Structure 1
Amino acid sequence: MSRHQADPALVKALVTPERVHRDVYTSPEIFRLEMEHLFANTWVYVGHASQIPNPGDYLSTEIGGQPVLASRHKDGSIHVLRNRCPHKGTKIVSETCGNTGFVFRCPYHAWLFRTDGSLHAIPYHRGYQDTDLMASEAAAGLPRVGDYKVYRDFIFARLATDGVDFESFFGDSLSSIDNMVDRSPAGKLVLEGAPLRYMHPCNWKMLVENQTDTCHPMVAHESSAGTAVSVWEREEAKGGKKPMAVEVYAPFMAPYDFFEKMGLRVWPNGHGHTGVTTSIHADYSAVPGYFDQMVAAYGEARAKAILGENRHNTCYFPNIMVKGPIQTLRVFRPIAADRTLVESYTFRLVDAPDMLFERTLMYNRLINAPTSIVGHDDLEMYERAQLGLHADGYEWVNIQRLYQPGEAEDVTDVAGGTSERQMRNQFQAWVKYMTMSMTPEGAGLREAAE
């Protein structure tokens, strides 16, 4: 079957303003179309520049099932390339990161490529004498992705050659990345430590939706975070400072009214965040010396503005979440229709007190790790949902909390913190980018091919 053979009308029928069909979570065919269309047409997170600080450094990953790599060239520039040799298609690198030196060497026939992807040399080159090799695409070097951008050291790429440009795709949503980086007195982040990796037996979109679902914490996490808070309340009467772990756990038990007043903001193209007015990260204990460092770097007014912005979870469509006040980033990597690998990364604020990074590491370990008690709560809910969607009787999933008829789509707007507006926003973008490269006649072509 050739590419683009899908009927956009059928895809659009799976999503309405108030509900989505269960097939978007369970169908292997829909998953295949997501990899081919959705992940090709959107801007997808590749990695962070601090992971490849030196010439010759590289990192490898996948976008929509396609292997790609990001490399640091000798002039300091970063390049995002498809991880395949133009000769026989062999993957150039198989490690997740490393340093290749001056060139990449194909392990099959030893073709050599500079770290900007350009062809450096071909062994026994005279074998191509009197051929048009140098005029062919093979001589062009490692194939590039459609476009890529390094924004404040965050590396993004779009596989499709044509499409929405970086600035138009993200727009004002980049303010969450700005705030996360600006929390460093030096205006710089460094990704430190290996990510926590956690396989989930569910569709990737369930994890993305959960990041702005504020009606589940006090329910799903009652037995874990709720128990931790109860234990502390018994000890609190004895005096003493509240442990950092309790500060992390306690906000999960906030009531509905707190989360509602927190607010939610949506942006075009499926991006959005909880925590417009406040968030569960707003009341952590002050870190000695940190505010003074921020004032010295930015001035008092700017420092207060930066630290006063405590967004909860910012979802960048399609598949990452950043948590600025705690300096973490989560990637939801689709493996199959019912399998998702979650990678949780931690960042150090350059020139900030070590205690901030200590809190970042603790948060990641307590909330996102495979050994986390909070993470296991969510895992059970995802697994139950993935299994439950196979039950016949009703084929739709409801996403209409705080829905208003005629609700504007693909806009910047603010809603109540318990609204499912961001979920609706994500699915509007899902339809937009799923169908962008589909042809109306695709269904007929597909039937003929089959």
Structure 2
Amino acid sequence: MAMYRDHPDRIRALVQEDRVHRDLYLSEELFVLEQEHFFANTWTYLGHASQVPNAGDYLAQDIAGRPLLMVRQADGGIKVLFNRCAHKGTQLVSDRCGNTGKFFRCPYHAWTYKLDGSPLAIPIKSGYEGTRLKDCESGQGMTALTHVAVYRDFVFVRLADRGPAFEDYFGEALAAIDNLVDRSPEGKLTLAGGAMRNIIHCNWKMYLENINDTVHPLSTHESATRAANALWEGHAPDEPKPMAMEQILPFGAGYEFFDQMGGRVLPHGHSVLGTRFSIHSNYARLADYEEAMRAAHGETRASEILQRSPQNAVLFPSLSVKGSPLAIRVIRPLAANRTLVEAWAFRAAGAPDLLFERALGYNRLVFSPMSVVAHDDVHLFESIQKGLAAAGNEWVSLHRGHRPGEFDDAPAQDTNGTNELLMRNQFRAWAEFMTLRMGAAA
């Protein structure tokens, strides 16, 4: 029996002001509805333009169960197509990425399409004379997505025909991408070094809310920070640190540090953690790089970029951005209890190689499934997924820092760094976009 389909009130009741129901993590039915509604109504990160630098380059990526292709066009533009032949539905490419040349060719019956998806040629063309092929969808070629936004080379899609416009949906949150891109004196980033992929047996929302959880590092990562402190013991506080030490030691900062770093919630689930400072604020300074930034952006803007090093900026629901280091995480839901997380590093044009090495090093140190940090988180995520299935309490607490009517003050507001307001904000947006026009055609 379907408990939630066509029952938006039941779905909204799962998200209360200060807690959420465990079904948000466990229910396969809700996950199916998320694929159908939530991920269709929101803007999802698809990929980066640097992944398709040349005409004919493509990136294949599933979004909410839909196989998509991001394709570089002959005129330099980017188009997003459904990865399916208009004839029988065969996926036109099976590799994750590559170059298709000047056209796509179906491996099943050899129908071909131009890079923009329009039909090019059909074998035994005479067999279709006098038929309705040209008048139906199959004769129009590959289906292109209507709602695609390329913002400073970050490519986002919205699957539903109706929904918020790109700028309206992200608003102030786009400043996190600006901060990332503008760390290049030339304003140009390139994804490099490959992706670090990790499939975790937990619900995607669990991982996403943890990105805004500053209370867990002190206990969850205690063994890693204790070992790092033991290795660094005896060194002067101002002594230059090896990169790994520079990146791991701040994880052991106390609750006061994380509380005072500050946070900001934005409409539609977006947020910034570390509005005052973060664990990334005290990386070694690079005089030549800072001079290049001042020359490129001016004194005021360069200072603003370099001094702003948030812990995490979340562009809900699929992207987490770290301006320093130059890294992103992409959250790809696979099932109610399975999530793919990709960690990527950027090379900034006009910046020293050390910045790229810092991004690669951080991803290996913190996000690799074999790292001294990520294995702690993965173990706990999977433990939570199992624990929530136990009988008894059906609710997950989000009470820390809650006050009644907190969202009545303003759609965007600042808070302390340990307040679970940042998580409550995500679930509030989940309920909004999950039930948006539920029961009506998308």
Q: 1:175 corresponds to which letter in structure 2? A: A
The superposition leaves residues 269-299 of structure 1 with CA deviations (integer Å, 9 ceiling, x where unpaired) of 1110101111111101112411011111112
Tell me the residue number matched to 1:447. none
Cα distance in 2, alignment partners of residues 75 and 172 from structure 1: 31
Q: 1:338 corresponds to which letter in structure 2? A: N
Tell me the residue number matched to 1:24. 24
Deviation at 1:440, TM superposition (A): 8.5
Cα distance in 2, alignment partners of residues 418 and 172 from structure 1: 22
Correspondence list, 1:74-89, <5 A: 74-89=74-89
Q: 1:216 corresponds to which letter in structure 2? A: H
Q: Secondary structure of the residue that 1:340 maps to in structure 2?
A: strand
Deviation at 1:238, TM superposition (A): 11
- Are 2:326 and 2:355, in contact at CA under 8 Å, matched by a contact in 1? no
Q: Secondary structure of the residue that 2:392 maps to in structure 1?
A: coil
Deviation at 1:164, TM superposition (A): 1.0
Cα distance in 1, alignment partners of residues 102 and 225 from structure 2: 50
Correspondence list, 1:281-296, <5 A: 281-296=280-295
- Are 2:69 and 2:82, in contact at CA under 8 Å, matched by a contact in 1? yes
Deviation at 1:240, TM superposition (A): 5.7
Q: 1:222 corresponds to which letter in structure 2? A: E
- Are 1:329 and 1:345, in contact at CA under 8 Å, matched by a contact in 2? yes
Tell me the residue number matched to 1:374. 373
Deviation at 1:347, TM superposition (A): 0.5
- Are 1:280 and 1:312, in contact at CA under 8 Å, matched by a contact in 2? yes
Tell me the residue number matched to 1:446. none
C-alpha RMSD of matched pairs (Å) = 1.8
Cα distance in 1, alignment partners of residues 429 and 301 from structure 2: 34
Tell me the residue number matched to 2:219. 219
Cα distance in 2, alignment partners of residues 238 and 203 from structure 1: 40
Cα distance in 1, alignment partners of residues 13 and 370 from structure 2: 40
The superposition leaves residues 22-73 of structure 1 with CA deviations (integer Å, 9 ceiling, x where unpaired) of 0100111111111111111111011000000100000010111111110001
Point out where structure 1 has 5 or more consecutive residues left out of the alignment. 442-450
- Are 1:192 and 1:346, in contact at CA under 8 Å, matched by a contact in 2? yes
In terms of mean alpha carbon deviation, does 324-333 or 181-190 score higher? 324-333
Point out where structure 2 has 5 or more consecutive residues left out of the alignment. none
Cα distance in 1, alignment partners of residues 252 and 380 from structure 2: 17
In terms of mean alpha carbon deviation, does 432-441 or 141-150 score higher? 432-441
Cα distance in 2, alignment partners of residues 288 and 244 from structure 1: 17
* Residue 130 to residue 210, structure 1, CA distance change in 2 (3 Å): same
In terms of mean alpha carbon deviation, does 318-327 or 150-159 score higher? 318-327
Cα distance in 1, alignment partners of residues 283 and 238 from structure 2: 18
Cα distance in 2, alignment partners of residues 339 and 318 from structure 1: 16
Cα distance in 2, alignment partners of residues 318 and 340 from structure 1: 13
Q: Kindly indicate whether residue 385 of structure 2 is the aligned counterpart of residue 386 of structure 1.
A: yes
- Are 2:5 and 2:33, in contact at CA under 8 Å, matched by a contact in 1? no
* Residue 283 to residue 237, structure 1, CA distance change in 2 (3 Å): closer
- Are 1:7 and 1:440, in contact at CA under 8 Å, matched by a contact in 2? no
Tell me the residue number matched to 2:324. 325
- Normalised by the length of structure 2, the TM-score is 0.96
The superposition leaves residues 143-165 of structure 1 with CA deviations (integer Å, 9 ceiling, x where unpaired) of 12241110000000011111111
Cα distance in 2, alignment partners of residues 402 and 238 from structure 1: 34
The superposition leaves residues 294-322 of structure 1 with CA deviations (integer Å, 9 ceiling, x where unpaired) of 11111222211111111110111112211
Deviation at 1:215, TM superposition (A): 0.5
- Are 2:262 and 2:273, in contact at CA under 8 Å, matched by a contact in 1? yes
Identity value in percent = 51
Q: 1:31 corresponds to which letter in structure 2? A: F
Q: Secondary structure of the residue that 1:431 maps to in structure 2?
A: helix
Aligned residues between the structures: 439
Cα distance in 2, alignment partners of residues 188 and 238 from structure 1: 35
Q: 1:67 corresponds to which letter in structure 2? A: P
Q: Secondary structure of the residue that 2:208 maps to in structure 1?
A: helix
